[in-house]
Chain A
Amino acid sequence: MGISWGSLALAGALAIGSALSGGYASAGQALLNVSYDPTRELYKQINPAFVADWLAKTGETVEIQASHGGSGAQARAVIDGLNADVVTLALAADIDAIATKSGKIAADWQQRLPNNSSPYTSTIVFLVRKGNPKAIKDWDDLAKPGVAVITPNPKTSGGARWNYLAAWGYGLKKFGGDEAKVKDFVKAIYKNAPVMDTGARGSTITFAQRGLGDVLITWENEAFLALKEFGADKFEIVAPKQSILAEPPVSVVDANAETKGSRKLAEAYLDFLYSPAAQAIIAKNFYRPVHPEHAAKEDLKKFPKLEFVTIDKTFGGWAAAQKKHFADGGIFDEIQKQEPAR
């Protein structure tokens, strides 16, 4: 009897044991690209193109594995041991976090590739309902009472931080650098937000599918994608006069690439992002290519011309912006604080 009971216990222990032992083994040469949410469609097209390119150049068949999620959560996963060969995230701050908190990426990563390691850029625009019933033209219109603004939560979403900083940048220009006034202005915009989803895609769905809000502040590529998915007869894009230049950066995760012996492949993958073929795909997916000469003309025509502030010049880099605006007790917290507790 003891033996039988023992075997039962053993079965349980074995179940745990088998669960604990070993990870997954990847067949052949595989490259894991850990990216953020809105790039799913982009990398779905880039990856096969790279695989074909690599096969033609070296005769090797490789597999590109993709992981998408919120930019910050993805960075944390890499810090905590997700075996990424390359990261392609929404903001430099997230890659900086990997570099400083885990040491898995060299500190000078942003200088290793052209254009601050950003093979594509984007900006923040507005998506409004067809006919623009609330006549939204620029940032000022978002601060007016009675306009419902949909934007994700800057505390949980990288894209939302770009939104916030774009509004702040406009405020700085409008009020000639008077930060108290800028703060009131940005606060008025956020007071108009009835919902704050945790990610950019969640906000798009709230706006487009749930029918909430008059205007969605979002990535340019996200806005174009929404037009494509839900029909250009339902929404239109409004470009403010001034916005922010968003530079989603990429990097090899050095420590993982060394252990896995995939550095050559990883570097080739990132270099490929700057190649004519990839730049054309990038423009087709509504990101602004850093080498527009390689992109199709009709793809480029879609991008409205606007003035940009940049994170480095206007905000002194991500670390400073993060600390001043988004950290606990930062300006964003203060903006929300005076909300009456219902």
Chain B
Amino acid sequence: MTSPNFAGRNARRFKAPSVIPGFGLTFGYTLLYLGLVVLLPLAALIWRSSGLGLSGLYDIATEPRVAAGLRTTFFISFCAALVDLFFGLIVAWVLTRYDFFGRRLLDAFVDLPFALPTAVAGISLAALYAPNGWFGEPLAAYGIKIAYTRWGILVALIFIGLPFVVRTVQPIVAELETELEEASATLGASRVQTVLRVLLPPLAPALLTGFALAFARSIGEYGSVIFIAGNIAYVSEIAPLLIVVKLEQYDIPGATGIATIMLAISFAALLAINLVQAFARKRFGHV
């Protein structure tokens, strides 16, 4: 880990002459805690899969069944995050901008996916969308199957990811300054133009973050998905389930290998998005 010494030097070199104290302590504690709680365990993971080497990891990733699982997981997570992005924006907008009966209650419900154990969420969703469920039965009459297909995975992941988009976008919508909208309208822009050119751009970084977090969370989700996915190889089998399958065969390197691959992809995606965020903050931020 980085020594406090290094932290102190950074503080001196990069901090504009500032009177704010506590950098060494807070930064050091951040790194220590991050190291102990997150990096050390993840290092154990990578250590166990390191025996495979890069070529071993490549072999695992290209194993047809694993490749299918990874594709399913990343593709459906991406779709779910897109749906969350679209509807999450609408929900955040409606909850902050309008007042209507039941608004606060709805607002409280948004966090439900965090609180409900994922297994309960999976069971409830499966009960709803199964061919004999409240939603599944009418849908089945039209020949639409949700539970035990890839659509089931999508439904579960939409549920899991929604709060991330809503909760990152909401504060920014609240901070949007009406003066800008007024100026835009005064200058003759239609409401559509105002929304697209004035309101959406400052929301973009928050939307991106929300999308990234929803996407990241969906990739790893297991508990709620297995109850509704069907778990058929090559069709509705998610990558985390493959980790479980490998573990079941006492194939620890294989399991940690898949986990490492997923970790690497998620890390790259999150880092890219956070860099875009930082860039946007430097360029458009007002602090």
Contact = CB atoms under 8 A, between A and B. Distances in A.
A6 interface: yes
Contacts of B234: 336-337, 339-342
Interface stretch (A37-45, A111-119, A174-182, A193-201): A193-201
Given A155-B245, A339-B233, A328 B130 contact: no
Interface in B49-69: 63-65, 68
Interface in A309-342: 326-328, 333, 336-337, 339-342
A196 B232 contact: yes
Contacts of A5: 22, 25-26
B232 A193 contact: yes
Nearest to B232: A196
Contact of B230 (A12, A97, A196, A337): A196
Contacts of B78: none
Interface stretch (B167-175, B246-254, B263-271): B246-254
B33 interface: yes
Contacts of B233: 336, 339
A198 B244 contact: yes
A210 B36 contact: no
A16 interface: yes
A73 interface: yes
How many residues of B sit at the interface, in one of the four size bands?
A: 35 or more
B131 A328 contact: no
B135 interface: no
B226 interface: yes
Contacts of A198: 226, 231, 241, 244
A153 interface: yes
Interface string B209-233: 0000000000000000011001111
A72 B250 CA distance: 9
Contact of B244 (A156, A327, A333): A156
B231 A210 contact: no
A210 B232 contact: no
Main secondary structure of the interface of A (DSSP, over half): loop
Contacts of A206: 148
Contacts, number: 89
B132 A211 contact: yes
B262 interface: no
B230 A194 contact: yes
Contact of B25 (A2, A337, A342): A2
B29 A156 contact: no
Interface in A137-155: 153, 155
Contacts of B150: 342
Contact of A210 (B37, B63, B131, B247): B131
A76 interface: yes
B130 A212 contact: yes
Interface residues of A, number: 38
B126 interface: yes
A101 interface: yes
Interface in A160-207: 193-198, 202, 206
A27 interface: no
A56 interface: no
A85 B250 CA distance: 22
Contacts of B133: 210
Contacts of A202: 227
A25 interface: no
A326 B233 CA distance: 14
Contacts of A135: none
B195 interface: no
A326 B249 CA distance: 9
A9 interface: yes
Interface in B13-41: 21-22, 25-26, 29, 33, 36-37
A337 B64 contact: yes
Interface in A211-239: 211-212
A333 B245 contact: no
B46 interface: no
Nearest to B246: A328
B7 interface: no
A337 B244 CA distance: 19
B146 to A, nearest CB: 12
A210 B126 contact: yes
B95 interface: no
Contacts of B259: none
A20 to B, nearest CB: 10
B129 to A, nearest CB: 9
Contacts of B65: 333, 336-337
B29 to A, nearest CB: 5
13 contacts: A5-B22, A9-B25, A72-B248, A155-B249, A156-B245, A195-B148, A202-B227, A210-B126, A210-B127, A211-B130, A328-B63, A328-B251, A337-B64
Interface of A: 1-2, 5-6, 9, 12, 16, 70, 72-73, 76, 97, 101, 153, 155-156, 193-198, 202, 206, 209-212, 326-328, 333, 336-337, 339-342
- Closest 7 A/B residue pairs (Cβ): A210-B130, A211-B132, A336-B233, A155-B245, A72-B248, A195-B148, A195-B230
